[in-house]
A and B are shown apart, each in its own frame.
Chain A
Amino acid sequence: MAADSCSWFSALAVGVSLLKCFFISAYRSTDFEVHRNWLAITHSLPVSRWYYENTSEWTLDYPPLFAWFEFGLSQVARSFDANMLQVENLNYASPATVLFQRLSVIVTDVVFIYAARECCRCVRDPKGSRDILSQPSFVLAVLLLWNFGLLLVDHIHFQYNGFLFGFLLLSVAKHLQSQHLQGALLFAFLLNLKHIYLYVAPAYGVYLLRSYCFTQDNKDGSIRWSSFSLRRLLALGAIVTSVCALSFGPFIAMGQLPQVLSRLFPFKRGLCHAYWAPNIWALYNVLDKTLAVLGVRLKLLDKAELPLASMTGGLVQEFEHSVLPSVTPAVTLVCTLLSILPAAASIWLRPRGARGFLRCLLLCALGSFMFGWHVHEKAILIAILPLSILAVENREDAGIFLILTTTGHYSLFPLLFTPAELPFKVALMLMFSIFSFTALRKLHSAQGFLLHPLEVIYLLGLVAVAIACEVVFPLSPWQQRLPFLPLLVTSVYCAMGVCYAFLRLYASLLLQREDKPKLL
């Protein structure tokens, strides 16, 4: 990166940090209260009570390192407003509390900013191009720092994903820079901060084992068993074990491990979240519903025999399918593993460096998003953010990125349903989409178009969906009868795009002949 890159990168970072400050008094979801409660729990209770406390319904369900993170925050919170640190103060949201919690997200995003900077170092800028705006590193910095989903989920909806993604991206960047032990350490930390990243753990496991523990390949790229390095395996093992020991050790010592794990993995929830994430199960549910309606119409089914399917009633609950077989957690687990398997096998058989690993990581993230149990729509960000790196390097990936981000980001729209936040989500989404489309097109302008005309039509259809759901529907009489219709349409329409992007990404991994050596 050039010497003056420091100035534009910091300008982007300062700009987005100030932008985040505009959302301080915006709408915030119950996650705000969740995190306030965790602040209170970690601050006012002994460690042994952390995973037993249940005054609030929002019990601590993140791994221990995150609890310690909240503990650290609570030390600062004390000087803002000590009342927020009392467990009994449910739904406490004084102005100082809001300011502190919002600022804590903005400030801890420093990790993310640093990670984005490291990722930008990993892409090479073509020499001689003067225009900063069309340099891959600049585009990547904007795609990461100004990511619509992160702004929406972290700074309006309220969560600490920026901080967590900072670890993920930093670890990816370390792998791209061939510093595998650091990458593994960061990922181990990440897993102990939020266990949702277990989704991408298979990619890490396979890649580290194959490309780090085996130091050499045969000439045809297949594995050379004799090059196995036990020292490296032990080093990796030591890192992972020590981080986990640091995190879970105290709870194992206190004999609380089963309790902690039961908090971390609540399988009592339903197949789909209240609002369906745009994945296979959304399509499956709709297919089921359509078949049921058709069956009743064609007199093939008896209406009385069907279970009362309440679909997206707004509560997290079990949903019984009426025609198609019901889906159990075990089925989703098998489907997820099956969807990940080819990707993992591919990089085992034919490792293609850190880029191949990144591709596998994306497929793991998307695979578990497509088939997982009780997936949140926010989880799409695990795929979108790392894909940004590939998008600025490769035309094919740029096309997939555009489809995945546009649909994935649009599927986040229902997260904000208050009218006052409508301008924010529309303006932010437009801004990000305009930038990503024009910048990526400029970046790959030499190699032709990024999107097929059909894909363009599909994406333009999103505009129609948006207008129908946000403007027309609230004014129409269906508002009363079918309140969940916009959510259903949104998630089904987006699910098609996400599925398509998933398949194309798979094709790009499996059909790729030989990756050009892009490693640094």
Chain B
Amino acid sequence: MQTWSLVSICVLLSIIARWGVSLNSYSGAGKPPMFGDYEAQRHWQEVTYNLPIQEWYFNTTNNDLNYWGLDYPPLTAYHSWICAYLAKTINPEWVELHKSRGYESTQHKLFMRTTVLVADLLIYIPAVVLYCLYLTDGSSKKKVSVMFCFLLYPGLILIDYGHFQYNGVSLGFALWGILALGLGWDVLGSMAFSLALNYKQMELYHALPFFCYLLGKCIKTGLMGRGLFLLVRVGVTVLATFALCWLPFLAEPSQAMQVVRRIFPVARGLFEDKVANTWCSLNTLIKIRSILSGDSQLYLSLACTLLAVLPSCIRLLTKPTFWHFKLALVNSSLAFFLFSFQVHEKSILLAALPACLLLNDLPLMALWFLQASTFSMLPLFLKDGLLVPYIVTSLGFLFFSIYLLSALDHCSEDKLRLGAYNKLFYWVLKMDLAFIVRWKFYISIAAMVGLSIAAAVLIAPLHLPDLFPVLISTTAFLHFLGTFIHFNVVQFSEPPSRKSQKKSN
């Protein structure tokens, strides 16, 4: 069969999966007074449609910032504004100022879900298809398999189509950036990534690798000659893109400052809810938030994040190849997730995207991490009533990624890139590391399944109401930490010596 038909069948399947999830409930359905992210997005449509652009980020009589005030960069606001226009033509009630607050109906849900699907079809899905066709190596069947697993990653589908957000847009832009860099179109890539940054500030998790990769490339080609030219071009592109996105807010400095303040709410504290990062997991042992003041928490997390990011970024700077770039993206986003300030459980999607890029090279590790990332958001899914789609998509992803990528068949030490461990711990040389890894995988999957069932079925004891969320976040944290260490080790070990890998650099 031709590749095009396989590709289109996979894309159609992924659309069906997405639409299937979207028929389920969304966050805050029928839960006044605050509702959830679904209402937040609807409210932004209402605000952007009815208010002048100067009022969008300000607390005014018509714009109560305490009720889902806009706290994403301008591109999100423009997107809401476009959606609001469509909404207005279909049914003006959906975006009526003040009166539409908490509006819920089947038609409206259908409309909102459609906007997510359209955004995905325009940005995320084409990026995935092109990435897999052009930047993964192997037969066309292999490429299609990787693409299928990439598109079926449950975390993103469940958050965007179940919980309700537009992560596909920012991640899609980032992926376009990665794709362009991989193909050698550095200027276009930096533009796409700037758009991603302007859609969601969380894309900063990916910023350092982009920066280091481009800078490293400039240095390699000679900072005095062509490298400088490239640097200037990239710099100008980034500045121009930012300026374009922020144009309406640049007239007055106070406007721009207010947007920045809204985007980076440092006052919110070290972490919220139960998130699978270091601080929250540490919290079960030491109550950091009561020991340290707000400012010192901020500095501590900043220092830890920088320390964690540094090794992989320096490595990338010295060896600016696409392979190191991909690894640095995972490492950097994981470092941010694990150590930075005010992390949401959904931010793991930022680490999941680059992990998807590694599905072809390191199938077992990538899918293991991806599964753990989906699992880490289980408390959220339970709250939103997404248990059934969680089970279905997770099973599907696990089954097909293991089957299609033959993840468990090829787990020799070489394939898993465990060589470095042999050098590090020469005394365990005699042990079969691949065997241990495989069993660790089985045990971890069993643990995740067990905890999922327990969290869904059992009722936590009265004196420990958060028992399952804490257990889930701690388990997921251990996975993330392990992945972080492993991918750092892989980045510092010898790169794979395959022809195609060199070709793509």
Contact = CB atoms under 8 A, between A and B. Distances in A.
A396 B2 CA distance: 22
B500 interface: no
Interface in B227-266: none
Interface string B1-30: 110011011001101110111011000000
B13 A19 contact: yes
Contacts of A428: 12, 16
Interface string A316-343: 0000000000000000000000000000
Contacts of B8: 430-431, 434
Interface string A1-44: 00000010001001100110111111000000000000000000
Interface in A462-484: none
Nearest to B114: A423
Given A18-B395, A25-B23, A26-B23, A438 B403 contact: no
Given A134-B1, A435-B9, A427 B403 contact: no
Interface string B266-289: 000000000000000000000000
B1 A438 contact: yes
A143 to B, nearest CB: 13
Contact of A99 (B5, B110, B388): B388
B396 interface: yes
B400 interface: yes
Contact of A419 (B6, B110, B392): B110
A439 interface: yes
B274 to A, nearest CB: 26
B109 to A, nearest CB: 9
A335 B200 CA distance: 67
B21 A439 contact: no
Interface residues of B, number: 28
Contact of B392 (A22, A430, A431, A439): A22
A22 B16 contact: yes
B117 interface: yes
A442 interface: yes
Contacts of A15: 396, 399-400
Interface in A401-423: 419-420, 423
A146 B339 CA distance: 46
A19 B15 CA distance: 11
Nearest to A423: B19
A424 interface: yes
Given A18-B392, A427-B16, A7 B403 contact: yes
Contacts of A424: 16, 19-20
Nearest to A430: B12
A18 B388 contact: no
Nearest to A24: B388
A133 interface: yes
Nearest to B17: A22
A434 B6 CA distance: 9
Max count, chain B CB within 10 A of own CB: residue among A435, A439, A442: A435
Contacts of A133: 1, 6, 141
A439 B15 contact: no
Contacts of B6: 133
Contacts of B24: 25
A428 B6 CA distance: 14
Contacts of A419: 110
A15 to B, nearest CB: 7
A98 to B, nearest CB: 10
B435 to A, nearest CB: 22
A18 B12 contact: no
Contacts of B106: 420
B110 A420 contact: yes
Contacts of A430: 8, 12
Given A419-B110, A431-B16, 15 more contacts: A14-B399, A18-B395, A19-B16, A21-B20, A22-B392, A25-B23, A26-B20, A133-B6, A427-B13, A427-B15, A428-B12, A431-B8, A431-B9, A434-B8, A434-B12
Interface of B: 1-2, 5-6, 8-9, 12-13, 15-17, 19-21, 23-24, 106, 110, 117, 141, 388-389, 392, 395-396, 399-400, 403
A-B pairs with the 6 shortest C-beta distances? A22-B20, A438-B5, A21-B392, A431-B12, A18-B396, A427-B12
23 contacts: A7-B403, A15-B400, A18-B396, A19-B20, A22-B17, A22-B392, A23-B20, A25-B24, A25-B388, A26-B23, A99-B388, A423-B117, A424-B16, A424-B20, A427-B16, A427-B19, A430-B12, A431-B8, A431-B12, A435-B9, A438-B1, A438-B2, A438-B5
